[in-house]
A and B are shown apart, each in its own frame.
Chain A
Amino acid sequence: MTPRTRTIAGFPVPGLLAFIGLIGVGYFVVVMLATVGIATWGDVSTSTWEQGTELARLFALFWVVWLIPTYLAPYVAHGVTRREFVASTVVFVVAEAALLAALVTAGYLVERLVFEAADWPHVLTDDHAFGSPTHAATVFVSYGLTFLVWASVGAMVTAGFYRHEGGWGLVALPVGILLLVPSDLAVDSGGPPFLEAFLDLGGGRLGLALLLCLPSAALALAGAWALLRDVPIRSKTPAA
């Protein structure tokens, strides 16, 4: 295996995706325990996992925000180019989005079994591109798109702040917020009001989400590349 393939195969550290997966499973267990708590003192009338996944997009963003400033310098110091690092980051973003979407999808299916056993209504509160929590394929694509956009925007904004000079972080931040908007078409989180015009597209909404989210993610990742392609590696100690 060449250093280049080793970089992408082992990025960023072996087992990080497995660790993220484990946290996701643990989080599902916590949400289900909270559901039992709600049922003990009140009524469970809608999917609690749906509310729980509100945090998942921040979780997807967090790992990329952590990863770039943590690992860019060590990788470059060991001969990996910025181009290779960004390519590996893109692979990580896609893999992370797919992993988290799979966990969310599996969570809805397990939740359905729990809710059926407890005789609770398994219905959604918000208006998403998927009609039912058990439409596994559309749930996976909807959440996959959402996580992809959020993680990609995280990469771009972090790259802006890592670059430091020229106020690039402050420029990347509003652009990133704008690029996040299409993800609300896939998984509704109470986004901007003008999106409401598109919420009644039925099956066409997921198509529109795909049409807008993929370019958003691509633009964000291209922005991350543009910001990192020649970024200086900072020293933690002043030059002697």
Chain B
Amino acid sequence: MTLDIEIDDLHLRYGELTALDDVRLRLDGGKIHGLIGRNGAGKSSLLAILAAFRKPTSGTVRIGGQPVFENPEITHQVCLVRSTGDTVEDDDKVEEALRFAERLRPAWDAELAARLVDRFHIPLRHAIGKLSLGQRCALGVTIGLATRAPVTMFDESHLGMDAPSRYAFYDELLADFMAHPRTFVVSTHLIDEVSPLFEEVTILDRGRILVHEPLDTLLARGTAVTGPAAAVDRFVDGFDVLAEKRLGGTRSAMVYAAFDEGRRRWAAEAGLELGPLSLQDLFVHLTQPTEPAEPAGSTSAAEEDA
């Protein structure tokens, strides 16, 4: 079963602070959605509302056409795993947390849970509070996947896992999505690592929806131009250059522009290579709209992060 998510005129305020401001969004069922944004953009608040962890100040949220908050018909079909899986009880053992989930989740897949616990090397008999950060995150994603909820959301759940475990998580998520199509929403700061999974991407910025597009459409907004430095300089002149790299006489410029056929021909004739930008580079650019494009020779924030 796949369920659509519809959000209309959503506002959330914490006292004087506006966390979400007039959010309007439709996330189609049966897709893996990426939700990205800078710290404090409102991602966790939005997901908390979708999972009925929090009531919005105003506005409507519907899943499968029904309101979410305090609606057991829907809440049982939604699963949000938040950061380190912080809604499990620290004193419980891992096996108790799994039994607890099995008792409450109608579509629980115990076989998958057992396999993932084994794959992530999570000790079943250890108290959850004594697990390492990575093991705790792995337990969170294990519960999230094995729940098989029609709407499953991960809010930075994999951030504390080591790289091999994160890649195992991506594999498992994709495999399980293919075998049991449902609606996934993944919020992350590890954008380039996870973005190949996304079908649609939503960028939140300061509590508002900045972008909501299919990943391919979004990536087509930018182009990496690589080739002899002088040719690249001429080619990108007048365009919004987000960042660049130089190696000897070769220059690679990241440009916020989609080139038409004529310009692409020019690039080919000039021996330039055109490629897609990374989602992370686009994200960095899009969430700094008030700042001028960085001067040539600078390094993008994404590169600095890396």
Contact = CB atoms under 8 A, between A and B. Distances in A.
B106 A3 contact: yes
A240 B137 CA distance: 14
Contacts of B43: 239-240
Chain B interface size range: 35 or more
Interface in B40-82: 40, 43-45, 48, 51-55, 69-72, 75-80, 82
Contact of A80 (B48, B104, B106, B156): B104
A240 B104 contact: no
Nearest to A78: B104
B101 A78 contact: yes
A240 B39 contact: yes
A240 B87 contact: no
A225 B44 CA distance: 26
Interface in A32-81: 70-71, 73-81
A73 B87 contact: yes
B72 A3 contact: yes
Contact of B75 (A13, A74, A81, A239): A81
A79 B88 CA distance: 13
Interface in A75-99: 75-84
B103 interface: yes
A75 B44 contact: no
Nearest to B147: A78
B83 A240 contact: yes
A75 B39 CA distance: 28
Interface string B126-156: 0000000000000000000001010000011
A235 B159 CA distance: 16
Interface stretch (A4-12, A113-121, A136-144, A216-224): A4-12
Interface residues of A, number: 30
B86 interface: yes
Given A76-B53, A81-B52, A239 B45 contact: yes
Given A81-B72, A235-B86, A240 B189 contact: yes
Contacts of A167: none
Contacts of B294: none
Interface in B153-175: 155-156, 159
Contacts of B70: 81-83, 229-230
Contacts of B80: 77
A139 B115 CA distance: 53
14 contacts: A6-B103, A71-B89, A73-B86, A73-B87, A74-B89, A77-B51, A78-B79, A79-B79, A80-B72, A229-B70, A240-B39, A240-B83, A240-B155, A240-B156
